[in-house]
Structure 1
Amino acid sequence: MAMDLLKFAHEVKWRDMSWSVCTGWLRSLSLTQHLLLLALTPLPFLLVAFFMVHEVEPKASHEPARLARGVASVHLLATAVEAGVYFRRPHQLEQFVDALGGADNVTALAIYDHSGRPLVERGRPVVATWERVRAVRTASFIDERGGRMAFVAPVMSMPTARDDGIGDALFTLVEPNAAGWVLLEIDAPAPVSAGDQLFLRHALLTLAALAGSIYVALRLGHAWGDPMLRVADAVKRVRAGQWDVRLPADAVGREMQQLNEGINALIGTLEGTRRAVQAGVDEARDRFAYQAMHDHLTGLPNRRAFDKALDEAVAASRRASDRCVLCFIDLDFFKTVNDIGGHAAGDALLREVARLIQQGVRTEDLTSRIGGDEFALLLRNCSTDDACRIVDSLCRAISALRFRWEGREFRVSASFGLAEIDASVDSSAAALKIADDACYAAKREGRNQVVLRQPGSQGRLA
């Protein structure tokens, strides 16, 4: 076991592990935390240096001007804790107070916010009350009682940063209102050596400088951390589909302005690309949807669109007693045209017949090519008499057609089968069966005619 420990101590693995842990911890810190860590790094070294100076310096006689020293001390302390009181960071204030804990003559030290709540308190103040502390506007001596001397100084508000940068905030005048108070009670009879006085003065000056560096670190973190958070939030919102995100162009610093402008330009480019892609997708979807529901040769609705419209018509007739008429159209002698003129002639004839049918029906009626040389009509809100008149005119128009192809003339006609759709028709299949039987009857009885067949009745010529 001992050999394993010695072997592990001499290996480099533990060093790599320690370095990995430290670097991982540093990477997890935010920008503001990095700046605060940088500002607080000299603190332990300064404390060690002051302690060594305090221990090696010889003690000297005490100065008689205790009041002046007390006022100066509490004033410097109030200046040093401005950042901690303003940003409500008790742990930083505790560091300041602990740094002064080595002074033998300090019996009580308290730091209050503007409402009188103690942020940090060391010892128990017995001389000054809160009412007397709150009335103080400048660093001053309060009272002496029980061998203690009380000094109070207000902690003034931190300066407000202007929009044009961090530097302006450092030189903005401090507002005259107090953000808190510092109460210092010292042991009056206890003499203060020259070494102690020097140590205290240097410590307070160091704490004041440290407070200034912490304030600068916080301001830098605020000035650069917040814009970076806005950039990250903008990227997150763009990923969520919010393309109207734009970063402000008046950011602090030329680098941040250029970064925001670049991100805004990138978002605009991505948005334009997305719109172009979406437009192409929408166009393709509309084209596919049109092709799925229309016949590619005649442009009429195809069998799928017709079946959907027929289902709706049957459901409407059963629900609201709406009546419509279904018509099957089968071209006569189409095979002759196809065999003699070829498929191109047949396609041209189908387009010509489709045009004649569309011209002869009403706007609300549906004309479909359901396959080969077969067409279907769905005459909405139409009585059987009106349907017979419409279909009879179509029958005459098709029989009067003189179709010419490559010097040949062809004559065709059409057989029409009509079926009334009312509440007695319980399904689309039943309606199709009635219309198909009627069309077959028209073919069987000589073509070029119209046969009407109502539910439950025999067909008759229209």
Structure 2
Amino acid sequence: MMKSSIRHRVLLLALLPATLLALSLGYFFTMSRITDLDQALRTRGMAIARHLAPTCAYGVFSGNSQILQGLADSALADPDVIAVYIMNRTGKVLASNGLKQSKLAGTQSGDILLSSQKGMATVATQSSSLIFRMPISQTEIQADDYGFTSTSPSLVRQQDNAPPLGYVTIELSRATTVERQNAVLRSAALLTIAALIATALLALRLGRDITVPIMKLAGAVEKIGKGNLEVRVQLDGNDDEFRILENGINDMVSELHQAHDNLHEQVLQATAKLSYQASHDMLTGLINRREFEVRLERALSSAQHQGREHALCYMDLDQFKIVNDSCGHVAGDELLRQLTLHLQQEVRERDTLARLGGDEFGLLLENCPQGKALMLAETMRSMVQNFRFGVGEKTFMVGVSIGIVMINQESDSVVSLLTAADAACYAAKDNGRNRIHLYQMQDSELARRRGEMQWFNRIHQAIAENRLRLYFQQIKPLQTNEPGLHVELLLRMIDETGQCILPMAFIPAAERYHLMPLLDRWVMENSFKLCEAYVASGGSGLQTWAVNVSGASLCDIGFVQYLKAHLATHPALAQSLCIEITETAAITNLSAANAFINELKLLGCRFALDDFGSGLSSLNYLKNLNVDYLKIDGAFVKEMADDAIDLAMVEAINKIGHQMGLLTIAEFVDSERVLLILKEIGVDFVQGNWIHMPENAETLCKT
């Protein structure tokens, strides 16, 4: 389309002016020539008429027809003269010639078609001839010195104001002139056609010289636009402008080709890098979890369909957190890099070692029976145990807990394999760390682990479906009739069938899988709503509402900020809030627990140390905790009526608490005997099912 368009335009621009000029010039010169031929015939006819008229004057005057006829015959000698007609003033024909061929042959005297003024010639134009009429005037004949007269026109002088003696009419044929004019037209047409052909050829040549290089350039640019960078432009001709364009485009294509090659190489490198990054861990260079699961899927398929046996080892480093905490993550990363190099030396060529995340590694032992897998796992464990990592003057030892699960035709899925290996690894940790645990279907420890893993999803689902509930249990004053209501808010879960689940069924799993901050936040948010609803319903006298907070939340800055922000705007809630922290959590996170307690005490909150007495070193830490209550561990309380040691423990704890100015609370009070003993000992508060069975907290707002 572009090709024909540009050619048409060039041809149109070249042909149109030349054609118009050729036609204009041809028309002008042709018409000029035709006019000249016609004018020449008129001039000759007028000359004949003007010459003949004076010579006929004497013959007309004298009436000598013989002389006139001779003059008429002489005038007819001209090849273009076809008729001569001489008449007197009355219109009588005195002499004529060629009248048979002339249109004047039919005219009568006095019917002459031409009229003339005195002394003036008149011309009439017909389709095939010209008719000239010239008056014959009276003249004076001059005599010479000898008296002779002369009839020479040069010697005849026309008399002024004398009427004409007669008329001379001459008819000239236009045939020759028309033929010459036609010949001129033919010649002009031929010349014009020749000129147009020459112009067209010149335009074509010009168009080809201009458009061919342009079309080559356009074609090359089109191919370049479509991605063909191998094309090169070669123009015929030595025009400087086209040569500049040719060199420019070729240089541009060469640059583009080089840039394309460079870009293609960069894309290949980037693709390879992205592919590597997608399947490898950037810190250690090992394959990552995603790629490991792909290879594990292949191994599982070969075991299920080809009867092969493989082993999956899940390895978790022991005491790695110490390196990160004491020397920083940079040192921890370097430890992982160095340890990876040692682990790779112990791996067989056909096996796969991967970093699954953090300090966890996966090892896929292909075509490996159980005995061989245990031997290789022991080799890995011994190597890690003997590994030493130095940072400055410090040297660290790490261990590894390894869980092994065999992959065979009975294996279910990749997810179940990883879950089983993870459970076996944690079983190894629970059994003392730095050891190997082989997964067995009948293993009770692993069954417990699997149960905890299931609770992980059930807890999330219960929160999403709003199946968590708050219950309350009253705490009764034992030594005084102190007015007001003291309660502890307890967490419950409603299962899928509507049954109420006690917290000890799911709290261990929540602690293990780091869900306690989530549960603590839910409990506090809903406790605030409950207390506000209690006040709005007209309730009064709620002196204490106790809520348990896990050790994980003590270290959660966001949780502390949330409590401070809410309690600062609701000071009445802060005055009645008592936060219970377990002894184990407080001791494990002593500094965090102290900071947590001190910040909230400024707002008026009270604190209770829950399950006191369960730790062997409780008394050493008690003086460092700014709490208000000691809750005696229910394990001592519930059997104290029949066990002297438990009774002694309760007495000792109660005495220590009072010595430190703390109030004591005995929980798990399940009988009247226990209640009476506690009152005798002097315990301040009691709590248990004998005192009050837990109720749905919503009933608080209805009492």
TM-score, length of structure 1 as denominator length: 0.59
Residue 185 of structure 2 is aligned to residue 206 of structure 1? no
- Whole-Å Cα distance in 2 between the matches of residues 252 and 315 of structure 1? 72
| 1:67 paired residue number | none
CA shift digits 1:110-133 (9 cap, x unpaired): xxxxxxxxxxxxxxxxxxxxxxxx
Largest Rg, 1 or 2: 2
Structure 1 residue 367: Cα displacement: 1.3
Match of residue 306, structure 1, among 288, 292, 315: 292
- Cα pair distance change 1:323/1:49, threshold 3 Å: farther
| 1:41 paired residue number | 20
Structure 1 residue 341: Cα displacement: 3.9
Give 3-state SS (helix, strand or coil) of 1:389's partner. helix
Match of residue 181, structure 2, among 169, 184, 195: 195
Match of residue 296, structure 1, among 273, 282, 306: 282
| 1:346 paired residue number | 332
Contact 1:50 1:203 in 2 (8 A): no
Give 3-state SS (helix, strand or coil) of 1:423's partner. coil
| 2:341 paired residue number | 355
User: Which residue identity does 2:182 align to in structure 1?
Assistant: D
- Cα pair distance change 1:37/1:313, threshold 3 Å: farther
| 2:75 paired residue number | none
- Cα pair distance change 1:395/1:44, threshold 3 Å: same
- Whole-Å Cα distance in 1 between the matches of residues 208 and 6 of structure 2? 19
- Whole-Å Cα distance in 1 between the matches of residues 387 and 290 of structure 2? 29
Give 3-state SS (helix, strand or coil) of 2:300's partner. helix
CA shift digits 1:333-371 (9 cap, x unpaired): 223333444434332322222111111112232211112
- Whole-Å Cα distance in 2 between the matches of residues 220 and 286 of structure 1? 55
CA shift digits 1:408-440 (9 cap, x unpaired): 333222111111223332321111112112212
| 1:52 paired residue number | 31
Structure 1 residue 302: Cα displacement: 2.2
- Whole-Å Cα distance in 1 between the matches of residues 201 and 26 of structure 2? 20
Structure 1 residue 231: Cα displacement: 0.8
Give 3-state SS (helix, strand or coil) of 1:262's partner. helix
- Whole-Å Cα distance in 1 between the matches of residues 291 and 398 of structure 2? 27
Any residues of structure 2 matched to 1:429-448 within 5 Å, and which?
429-448=415-434
Match of residue 390, structure 1, among 364, 376, 379: 376
| 1:404 paired residue number | 390
Residue 212 of structure 2 is aligned to residue 220 of structure 1? no
Calculate the aligned-residue CA RMSD, in Å. Answer: 3.3
Contact 2:37 2:181 in 1 (8 A): yes
After the TM superposition, which of the residue ranges 29-38 and 360-369 deviates more from structure 2? Answer: 29-38
Match of residue 275, structure 1, among 227, 238, 261: 261
| 1:131 paired residue number | none
User: Which residue identity does 2:352 align to in structure 1?
Assistant: L
Residue 18 of structure 2 is aligned to residue 32 of structure 1? no
| 2:459 paired residue number | none
- Whole-Å Cα distance in 2 between the matches of residues 281 and 42 of structure 1? 62
User: Which residue identity does 2:368 align to in structure 1?
Assistant: C
Any residues of structure 2 matched to 1:354-373 within 5 Å, and which?
354-373=340-359
- Whole-Å Cα distance in 2 between the matches of residues 257 and 215 of structure 1? 25
Unmatched 5+ residue regions in structure 1?
1-25, 62-189
- Cα pair distance change 1:437/1:220, threshold 3 Å: same
User: Which residue identity does 1:239 align to in structure 2?
Assistant: G
Structure 1 residue 447: Cα displacement: 2.7
What fraction of aligned residue pairs are identical, expressed as a percent? 36
Give 3-state SS (helix, strand or coil) of 2:37's partner. coil
After the TM superposition, which of the residue ranges 193-202 and 432-441 deviates more from structure 2? Answer: 193-202
- Whole-Å Cα distance in 2 between the matches of residues 318 and 438 of structure 1? 22
Match of residue 243, structure 1, among 211, 225, 229: 229
- Cα pair distance change 1:350/1:27, threshold 3 Å: closer
| 2:367 paired residue number | 381
- Whole-Å Cα distance in 2 between the matches of residues 324 and 30 of structure 1? 79
Contact 1:357 1:394 in 2 (8 A): yes
- Cα pair distance change 1:320/1:221, threshold 3 Å: farther
Contact 2:385 2:400 in 1 (8 A): yes
CA shift digits 1:283-337 (9 cap, x unpaired): 4444344334332322222223323333343344445545432110111222333
- Whole-Å Cα distance in 2 between the matches of residues 27 and 406 of structure 1? 80
| 1:335 paired residue number | 321
CA shift digits 1:135-161 (9 cap, x unpaired): xxxxxxxxxxxxxxxxxxxxxxxxxxx
- Cα pair distance change 1:383/1:30, threshold 3 Å: farther
- Whole-Å Cα distance in 2 between the matches of residues 37 and 380 of structure 1? 87
- Whole-Å Cα distance in 1 between the matches of residues 416 and 308 of structure 2? 17
Match of residue 326, structure 1, among 312, 317, 321: 312
- Whole-Å Cα distance in 1 between the matches of residues 370 and 178 of structure 2? 121
Give 3-state SS (helix, strand or coil) of 2:284's partner. coil
Contact 1:39 1:217 in 2 (8 A): no
Higher relative contact order (CA 8 A, sep 6+): 1
User: Which residue identity does 1:52 align to in structure 2?
Assistant: M
Unmatched 5+ residue regions in structure 2?
42-175, 446-703
User: Which residue identity does 2:196 align to in structure 1?
Assistant: L
Give 3-state SS (helix, strand or coil) of 2:317's partner. strand
Residue 410 of structure 2 is aligned to residue 424 of structure 1? yes
- Whole-Å Cα distance in 1 between the matches of residues 249 and 361 of structure 2? 58
- Cα pair distance change 1:270/1:253, threshold 3 Å: same
CA shift digits 1:174-221 (9 cap, x unpaired): xxxxxxxxxxxxxxxx99822222332233133223211211111221
Structure 1 residue 458: Cα displacement: 4.2
- Whole-Å Cα distance in 2 between the matches of residues 400 and 34 of structure 1? 93
Give 3-state SS (helix, strand or coil) of 1:58's partner. helix
Any residues of structure 2 matched to 1:66-145 within 5 Å, and which?
none
How many residue pairs get matched?
307
Residue 233 of structure 2 is aligned to residue 254 of structure 1? no
Structure 1 residue 450: Cα displacement: 2.4
Structure 1 residue 374: Cα displacement: 1.0
- Cα pair distance change 1:215/1:342, threshold 3 Å: closer
- Whole-Å Cα distance in 1 between the matches of residues 325 and 260 of structure 2? 52
After the TM superposition, which of the residue ranges 354-363 and 404-413 deviates more from structure 2? Answer: 404-413
Contact 1:249 1:261 in 2 (8 A): no
Structure 1 residue 265: Cα displacement: 0.9
- Whole-Å Cα distance in 2 between the matches of residues 249 and 459 of structure 1? 88
User: Which residue identity does 1:230 align to in structure 2?
Assistant: K
- Whole-Å Cα distance in 1 between the matches of residues 339 and 411 of structure 2? 30
